[in-house]
Amino acid sequence: MDMTVYAVFFYIIAALIIVSAGMAITRKHMVHAVLYLVVSFLATALLFYLLGAPLLAVFQVIIYAGAIMVLFLFIVMMIRPAPAGERSLTAGRLAAAFGVCGIYVAAALVLAFMAAPEAGRPMAAAAASPFAFGFYLFDRHWLAVEMVSLLLLVALIGALHLGRAGRRNQSERKEPL
């Protein structure tokens, strides 16, 4: 089995994505989870670049690792969630988690081994300039872009509201001496 340098980089970056995403969902401290998610997004951008999609890599860094993660950190800092207490991992929860993981692994194996013979050939590269991509996106899918921006605005307003409500509740609890 021939391993090229690109294949080695691919597997290293893929392992980094999997480990950092796993760390993001298992951390109890929210800021640590967001930082591991940033690592996962940056590694995904590296993977896009390695696979020949530099525009997607730049979008991944600017939009996800930049804007979305700043929004997540802003929400976490505004809400200031209480530290997670010790939760017991029951046998039922553990079985459900392994069951879902087993379903995904089985589906991946079925897709990998039952693929058509022509699936082994590389796909032809599709190239589009950033101008052509932007024109296509805003010409044909402008409503979806506006809906996503509106959804992000609502999330930001909700985080502000929750942060202010939490601050008001804390000031009401304090009794003057």
Q: Quickly list DSSP for 69-128.
A: HHHHHHHHHHH-PPPP------HHHHHHHHHHHHHHHHHHHHHHHS--GGGGSPPPPP--
* CA–CA dist 53, 45 (Å, integer): 9
Question: Is residue 170 in some structural domain?
Answer: yes
Q: Is residue 105 part of a domain?
A: no
Tell whether 65 and 141 lie within a shared domain: no
User: Do 76 and 9 share a domain, yes or no?
Assistant: yes
How high is the pLDDT of residue 161? 84
Residue 45 lies in a domain: yes
Domain closes at, from 61, 81, 101 = 81
pLDDT at 56 over 80: yes
Domain count, the chain: 2
What does the pLDDT read at residue 46?
93
Same domain for 134 and 64, yes or no, is: no
Same domain, 67 and 8: yes
CB–CB of 108/73 below 8 Å? no
- Domain residues for the domain of 162 are 129-177
- Same-domain pairing of 5 and 74: yes
Q: Give tens-digit pLDDT for 108-132.
A: 888 877 776 666 677 676 677 878 8
Binned at pLDDT 50, 70 and 90, residue 41 comes out as very high
Instruction: Say what the pLDDT of residue 146 is.
Output: 92
- Report pLDDT for 143: 92
4 and 72 inside one domain? yes
Are 75 and 133 in a shared domain? Answer: no
Q: Indicate whether 98 belongs to any domain.
A: no
State the pTM of this model: 0.57
What is the model's pLDDT at position 152?
86
Residue 97 lies in a domain: no
Which of 81, 110, 140 finishes a domain? 81
As a whole number, the mean pLDDT across the chain is 82
